[in-house]
Amino acid sequence: MSTLDQIGKRTPYKVPEGFFESSADLIMARIEQEPRKVVRSRFFTSFRAYAAAAAAAIIVVLGSIFIFNESNHVSLNELNDDFMRLSSADRDQILDMYEDDLFLNL
């Protein structure tokens, strides 16, 4: 009759000759083919979030300016029509006023 104490940690298990060396080589070979997930540091994670927020803010501001300008845009034809609706006296006064304007005459 045997007891657990008599047997202790002895087991009947065996492994093939050189098993652990070849097993380690196989595992390392498989590991080398594994794609590694790139773990970004907290700095870059935060930086990316701030950059995304800044880009979104710029888009909103530029978009607003563009839409605002679009809604207030007056075409040259409309300007010409408005000008022609003025009295001849008013037209002469405007032409006299802007005749020497550097920016209008570029």
Partner 1 sequence: MDNKSIIKNMRADMQKGFRLLLDAYQEKLYWHLRRLLGSHDDASDALQETFIRIYRNFDSFKGDASALTSWIFRIATNEAMRMIERRPQPTAQIDDPTVQPLADEYVDYSDLEAVKLQNAILALPPKQRAVFNMRYYDELSYQEIADAVDTSVSAVKVNYHLAKEKIVNAIKS
Each as own residue / partner, the long-range contacts of residues 64-71 (CB below 8 Å, 24 or more positions apart, any chain) are: none
Cβ closest to partner 1, residue 4 vs residue 104: 4
Output the CA–CA distances (angstroms, integers) from residue 8 to 1, 4, 13, 14, 15, in the order listed. Answer: 14, 6, 14, 17, 20
Q: Quick check: 30 binds partner 1 (CB under 8 A)?
A: yes
Q: Does 97 bind partner 1 (CB under 8 A)?
A: no
Residue 3 found at the interface with partner 1 (CB under 8 A): yes
Nearer to partner 1, 30 or 73 (CB): 30
> Counting contacts by CB under 8 A, is residue 43 touching partner 1?
no
Which residues, in sequence order, are CB contacts of 91 under 8 Å at separation 6+? Answer: 83
User: x/- site string to partner 1, residues 5 to 24, per CB under 8 A?
Assistant: -xx-xxxxxxxx--xx--xx
Decide: is 2 part of the binding site for partner 1 (CB under 8 A). yes
Residues in touch with partner 1 (CB under 8 A): 1-4, 6-7, 9-16, 19-20, 23-24, 26-28, 30-32, 34, 36-37, 39
